[in-house]
Homo-oligomer: A and B are copies of this chain.
Amino acid sequence: MSYEIKTGKEQAAPILWTGDFYNEGTGSGDIFDTLKEECGVFGVFGHPEAASMSYYGLHALQHRGEESAGICVANGRDFNYHRGMGLVKEVFDKDKIASLVGDMSIGHVRYSTSGDSRLTNAQPLVFKYRDGDLAIATNGNIVNEPLIRKQLEQGGSIFQTTSDTEVLAHLIARSQKDFVEATKDALQQLVGGFAFLLMTNDKLIVASDPHGLRPLVMGQLGEAYVFASESCALEVIGAKLVRDIEPGELLVLDKDGLREDRFAEPKRKALCAMEYIYFARPDSDLNGSNLHSARKRMGSRMALEAFVDADIVTGVPDSSISAAIGFAEQTGIPYELGLIKNKYTGRTFIQPSQELREQGVKMKLSAVRRVVEGQRVVMIDDSIVRGTTSRRIVNLLREAGALEVHVRITSPPFKNPCFYGIDTPDRRELIASYKSIQEMCEEINADSLAFLSPEGLIQSIGGYNSDDYKGGLCLSCFDNDYPTQVDFGGEEKDGCSC
């Protein structure tokens, strides 16, 4: 049986291979860094301690980017900002936060890639232009950025970063209109998935792409407005979640308060499904769904679509714990701690050499021998990217004495690159794009492998009007149905360049 993704209103067919050598595996981005986080933004309007609020807010968004952090505050006269490489708590100390005086601010945490982790790319980017100071923080990716950049260069523009944000600044600066109109014009030229925070000395602008591909929420804290990539960052400062920013929406906050506007008509709502599956924090709500609960439902649904009899259920930490508990609740198979992640690893940790790994030295993840020994194990994971990581985890379980390892992935097979802010490998490296489920199952050394169906995923996430096309989600990495144009004659860009 060859695998085929069913979408739309058709009946869900569990993506399951039950032949000789069963089925599928997992990526576990947070363990082996296969999928990269894609930045977080945080904005404050009208709070006297905007920098402190940003510090705690960005800290709550830290999982979205561990490479660099920055905060820029405005006080009506000028900007003060600080950016640095590292975690929020490493980049800022009390003195630095105290020096950032102002009641309006935008902040950013940035993910890490090997090639381009320069401080110059740390956001918010800050510019001087005709009308004064301008700061921008972004999450997402502009697909046609290379084309626009080329045009700007032809027109004599210079670039100091590789960030999409700089392109936006150029477009605004070159417009002859006022700041708000110039920003609208500029945004209309962009194709992609993005959430932008822009700040001048007296205005804060908040915008989301016409498909709402990247998450962005608004909260209130007393009289102040707060904006964040995820609601967990509101909760941590005691702010109340008001609503999600709409596709194509553009909010302007200034001395006249909040003005709701838009730079584009909303198109098909298509929030990134991977936010639900893997990226967002379990205590965040997106479009009315709590993430932990949604993941539990994915696990439950998985149990219905591809039940397997076993002794214990375990999840690959941290992202698949919720789903594993859901699978256990649905099946009655006890949830156990079969895998454990060492929470103390990080940049400065000495990774074991290949030789030591072969001698048995574990990396960030260990199997718990007494729990899995002699057991038939259901291992829940969120995705399989290249397959190598899944194979390693399955083998960890086997070496710890698991009799059987049944892998259940709470998403459909990952076959297509993301153009909207997630840093994915080349399509040729995506195992699901060139192997059948059976082949993948063999490759990762599992006893069986199954993926959640797209329908299962959509229904688990819920929170959307069921009339929305594909539940209001972008499933392009699974089904190749991109909400925007993604081919610009070779001048397009995938991944993330915020």
> A residues engaging B (CB < 8 A)?
49, 52-53, 55-56, 59-60, 62-63, 83, 87-90, 92-94, 97, 119-120, 125-130, 134, 153-154, 156-160, 166, 169-170, 173-175, 221, 232, 235-239, 241, 281-283, 285, 290, 292-293, 296, 322, 325, 328-329, 334-337, 340, 342-346, 348-350, 352, 356, 359-362, 366-371
Chain B residue nearest to A318 (CB atoms) is B343
Residue of B156, B232, B237, B282 near A360 (CB, 8 A) is: B237
B292 lies within 8 A of A368 (CB):
yes
A399: min CB distance to chain B, Å = 9
Check B283–A359 contact: CB distance below 8 A: no
Closest chain-B Cβ to A497's Cβ sits at a distance in Å of 13
The answer to whether residues A350 and B157 also contact, given A52-B356, A282-B340, A361-B56 and a CB cut-off of 8 A, is: no
Taking CB atoms, residues of chain B closer than 8 Å to A359 are 237-238
A460 to chain B, nearest CB (A): 15
Known: A236-B366, A325-B325. A336 touches B292 (CB 8 A): yes
Contact B322 A337 (CB under 8 A): yes
By the criterion CB–CB under 8 Å, are B90 and A348 in contact? yes
Q: Is the CB of B350 within 8 A of A93?
A: yes
Interface of A is mostly: mixed
Task: Tell which of B120, B128, B239, B368 touches A153, judged by Cβ atoms closer than 8 Å.
Answer: B128
Q: A238-B359, A361-B236 are in contact. Are A89 and B349 (CB under 8 A)?
A: yes
Asked if A350 contacts B89 (CB within 8 A), the reply is: yes
Question: B340, A283: Cβ atoms under 8 Å?
Answer: yes
In angstroms, Cα B118 to Cα A119, docked, is: 12
- The answer to whether B344 and A87 have CB atoms under 8 Å apart is yes
- Nearest CB of chain B from residue A156's CB, rounded to whole Å: 3
Indicate if the CB atoms of A59 and B342 lie closer than 8 Å. yes
Shortest C-beta distance, A118 to chain B (Å), equals 9
Contact of A88 (CB < 8 Å), options: B59, B92, B344: B344
A292 touches which one: B134, B366, B371 (CB < 8 A)? Answer: B371
| CB <8 Å contact, B127 and A154 | no
Contact in complex: B160, A125 (CB < 8 Å): yes
From B83, B88, B350, B368, give the contact of A94 (CB < 8 A): B350
Interfacial chain B residues near A127, Cβ < 8 Å? 158-160
Compute how far the CA of A53 lies from the CA of B352 in the bound complex, rounded to whole angstroms: 10
Closest to A159 in B: B128
A346 CA to B53 CA, complexed, in Å: 18
Closest chain-B Cβ to A480's Cβ sits at a distance in Å of 32
CB-based contact A343/B344 at 8 Å: no
Q: A290-B371, A292-B337 are in contact. Are A59 and B349 (CB under 8 A)?
A: yes
- For A59, give the chain B residue with the smallest CB separation: B344
Assuming A119-B119, A350-B97, is B360 touching A238 (CB within 8 A)?
Answer: yes
User: Contact between B366 and A232 (Cβ–Cβ < 8 Å)?
Assistant: yes
Q: In the assembly, what is the distance between CA of A110 and CA of B52, in Å?
A: 31
Give the chain B neighbours of A97 by CB distance below 8 A. 350
Nearest to A240 among chain B residues (CB) is B369
B156 lies within 8 A of A170 (CB)? yes
**With the chains together, A60 CA to B366 CA distance in Å?**
10
Q: Specify the chain B residue showing the minimal Cβ separation from A339.
A: B283
Report chain B residues within 8 Å CB of A87: 344
For A129, list chain B residues within 8 Å (CB): 153, 156-159
Interchain CB contact under 8 A, A49 and B356 = yes
Q: List 5 A-B contacts (CB under 8 A).
A: A119-B119, A128-B160, A156-B175, A158-B169, A237-B361
CB A394 to nearest CB in B, in angstroms, measures 17
